Amino acid sequence: MLNKILGKISKDIGIDLGTANTLVYVKDKGIVINEPSVVAVNKNTGQILAIGKKARNMVGKTPSHIVATRPLVDGVVSDFETTEQMLKYFIDRVHQDSFTFLPRPRVVIGIPSGVTEVERRAVIDAATNAGAREVYLIDEPMAAAIGARFPVQDAAGNMIVDIGGGTTEIAVISLGGVVACRSLRTAGDGMNEDIIRFARDEFNLLIGERTAEDVKMAIGSSHVEDKELKMAMRGRDLISGLPKEVKITSSQTREAMSRSIKIIVNGIKATIEETPPELVGDIMKRGIILAGGGTLIRGLDRLVAERTEMPVSRMEDPLTAVVRGTGIVLEDLESLKEVLVSTPDDKDFK
């Protein structure tokens, strides 16, 4: 009886709890929140000062007693209390116009496929403490495949590569389950680190994470392009200690990111090698689908196609693939329950 009452006054939500960004889907409304997974905390008082975009704007610009941090590292909870506060903030934001005094929604959360039981438990506990009455977990590649409207419950092979901020999820899906998969701790953040390292080694220039991200998104590529692009990169000269600006080209950026991209491509090839031949035949017909923000790197689809000798396409609106998948599961929870990793009925949940 209480669950029915709570269900009427609360809005069920789907969450893509990413290392870089958190997206929130509300049943019957669509995606309502897309914010960076960043929290600014006052170390002296423990008070949370900002969450999301406001906190991201503070990164690298705070005094010593204020820390702008990501509570998730490589797609898993590294700071339990901060993750809980962030989830509570998003749940309250979803319900701020509904005058619900104590929102208790059902929540579907996308998690990396390679997480341990302990890491899975941490997500469930954080969401429960943040106000969720029921928590369902789904593997991110499964959610992305559902978001791409793949017939995941059919006896046919579907291959999806979801390149996020902290992890790259590679999976072959058939009959509502994952047949072969890889969860790599190399993704968009790794490419940023590659650019930071390249700037230090080649230009004696120290740049921040945000600058590296801007360079990656503006001129980053993984395949030789017809047009060479250039961009100004500003930071601190490691020799003189003074401000310095250099120009970096798209070919230099490609060289910088080649290490991370090679790891991802090799992970895709290794997953194909583990896939049963019948499903490989299906994938050759349907192609490999790329999802996640990391797939926006220019030429990545062409590079993967060349290395795997398979058709490759980028999903429409790849950034929202996982959260759209959680939303579809929310809309039809009963018939899609078998694709979930954890439900409130599971023994490990209790």
- In the chain, alpha helices (H): 2-9, 53-56, 80-94, 117-129, 140-147, 188-203, 209-219, 250-274, 277-286, 300-308, 321-331
In a domain, 275, yes or no: yes
CB 163 within 8 A of CB 182: no
Residue 312 token pair: 């490759």
Do residues 249 and 265 both lie within one domain?
A: no
CA 233 – CA 250 distance, rounded (Å): 12
pLDDT of residue 8: 55
In a domain, 95, yes or no: yes
* Across 308-334, average pLDDT: 91
CB 90 within 8 A of CB 17: no
Residue 138 or 8, more confident:
138
The CATH code of the domain that includes 203 is 3.90.640.10
Per-residue burial over 159-195, b if 16 or more Cβ lie within 10 Å, else e, is bbbbbbbbbbbbbbbbebebbbbbbbbbbbbbbbbbb
pLDDT of residue 98: 62
In a domain, 292, yes or no: yes
pLDDT of residue 6: 53
80 — alpha (psi -120 to 50), left (phi > 0) or beta? alpha
**What percentage of the chain carries pLDDT values higher than 90?**
48
24-80 confidence digits (pLDDT tens) = 999 888 899 898 888 998 888 878 888 888 888 887 777 888 888 888 887 778 888
The CATH code of the domain that includes 309 is 3.30.420.40
Do residues 68 and 136 both lie within one domain?
A: yes
* Across 289-316, average pLDDT: 92
pLDDT of residue 28: 81
Do residues 122 and 268 both lie within one domain?
A: no
Considering its fold, how many domains does the chain have in total?
A: 3
Domain boundary among 230, 256, 282: 256
Say if strands 106-111 and 134-139 run parallel, antiparallel, or are unpaired: parallel
CA 350 – CA 90 distance, rounded (Å): 24
192 pLDDT tier (thresholds 50, 70, 90):
very high
Do residues 110 and 7 both lie within one domain?
A: yes
Do residues 172 and 203 both lie within one domain?
A: no
17 pLDDT tier (thresholds 50, 70, 90):
confident
349 pLDDT tier (thresholds 50, 70, 90):
very low
Q: Would you call 114 helix, strand, or coil by DSSP?
A: coil
Tell me what the pLDDT averaged over the chain comes to: 88
Domain boundary among 218, 236, 256: 256
Do residues 180 and 296 both lie within one domain?
A: yes
CA distances from residue 243 to 209, 216, 235, 309 in whole angstroms, order as listed: 16, 21, 6, 46
CA 214 – CA 220 distance, rounded (Å): 9
* Across 326-332, average pLDDT: 90
pLDDT of residue 186: 92
Q: Which domain holds residue 243?
A: 188-256
* Across 189-198, average pLDDT: 95
pLDDT of residue 46: 79
Domain boundary among 238, 256, 274: 256
Do residues 18 and 91 both lie within one domain?
A: yes
208-235 confidence digits (pLDDT tens) = 888 999 999 999 999 887 788 999 999 9
Do residues 242 and 305 both lie within one domain?
A: no
In a domain, 148, yes or no: no
CA 203 – CA 216 distance, rounded (Å): 17
Residue 204 token pair: 């004696």
89 pLDDT tier (thresholds 50, 70, 90):
confident
| 69 Cβ contact list (under 8 Å, min separation 6) | 38, 39, 40, 41, 79, 82
Residue 255 or 7, more confident:
255
In a domain, 151, yes or no: no
CA 8 – CA 5 distance, rounded (Å): 5
pLDDT of residue 350: 43
In a domain, 149, yes or no: no
140-182 confidence digits (pLDDT tens) = 999 999 998 888 888 888 999 999 988 999 999 998 888 999 9
* Across 249-271, average pLDDT: 95
